[in-house]
Every structure is written in C-alpha cells, then in structure tokens.
Structure 1
Amino acid sequence: MPLFTIVNRETCISCGSCGDLAPDVYDYDEEGLAFVMADDNRGCVKVEEDFIEDVQDAFEECPSGSIRIAEESFEGDPDKFEKVTS
C-alpha cells in the first residue's frame, strides 16, 4: 500500500511531535512549522517503506490533526480528501 503524507501548516502548532516520531520524514522551518522533507510538503512523494510506521505514529499523535496521510497523492493540498486515511 503506498502512503503519502503532508502537513497542514495552517493548523500546525509547532509541538515537535512529528519530528520526534518521524525525524527522517518531517522537519521544521524557521518559524517552527512542520513540513515533509521529501517533497517540500507537497504530499506527492510516496513515504519510504522504512518510515511508514513512523509516519502513522506521527499522524496518530499529532495534537492538532495537522499531519495528514492518504493512499493517494495530496498534490499540494492538505485538504484534498474529506476523510484522511488512518
């Protein structure tokens, strides 16, 4: 199953959870907002197999619900899917 991820930067509260749980996937900009490193937060590059569990953990633990995951590309839009895959 392919997995894609993106961060809704409008709702990100800079808590650091995603970077702690999936440091190979998420990083923070100068304002402390999270983003996906692989594709500059476009949500269009598949998560590497080795990092899928970490991304799922980050999704589940994100207190603001800003981490999004899906089986299809987000194409740069974190709100592309009404229901986000869990």
Structure 2
Amino acid sequence: MYYTKVNQDSCIACGLCQIISPDLFDYTSEGIAFTKMDLNAGNVPVPAERFEAFLDAYRKCPTGAILRSNRPFPPGEQ
C-alpha cells in the first residue's frame, strides 16, 4: 500500500502526471499538480486499480515532485 502527494515547491507544471494518471492528479489554478483523492494531504492510499498509472507518473516526473510513502504523510509535511 502506498500513499502519495506532490511536493508543490518542486512541481514545474509540465502536465505529465495528469496526462498519465488523470484519476489521481489535477492542477491548481496556477498549474501546480496535486493529488485529487485527498487534496494533496497524502493520507489516502493509492487505490490498487490505479497503482500502475501512479507508478508510471511517479517514475516519469521530471523533477521528482511526486512523493510516495508506505504510510500516511504527517499533516503539513511537504
């Protein structure tokens, strides 16, 4: 089980994660990515049926802004 969130300070708004996994990622009005399932809190596990798309986006993010963890991210952690 994995949890994910986007380090928004590292995101360059390239659009790749949303193209690869539109069910998981979206963009703010400024074009910065965030995880849709928990509004980038990193406390909801990636659904099993979306794991492969998540992993593809995670591996292809040019800045490494997509983070992953095997437990929920602490509140407020970037």
TM more than 0.5: yes
Report what 1:82 is aligned to: none
Aligned-partner Cα distance in 2 for 1:39–1:75: 13
- Tell me the alpha carbon deviations over residues 1-39 of structure 1, each in whole angstroms, 9 at most, x when there is no partner: x11100000010000010011110000010000000111
Report what 2:23 is aligned to: 24
Structure scoring higher RCO (CA < 8 A, sep ≥ 6) equals: 2
Between the aligned residues of both structures, percent identity stands at: 38
Q: Give the match's secondary structure for 2:34.
A: strand
Aligned-partner Cα distance in 1 for 2:74–2:54: 18
Partner letter of residue 12 of structure 1? C
Report what 1:45 is aligned to: 44
Q: Give the match's secondary structure for 2:4.
A: strand
Q: TM-score, normalised by structure 1?
A: 0.85
Partner letter of residue 10 of structure 2? T
Structure 1 unaligned blocks of 5 or more: 79-86
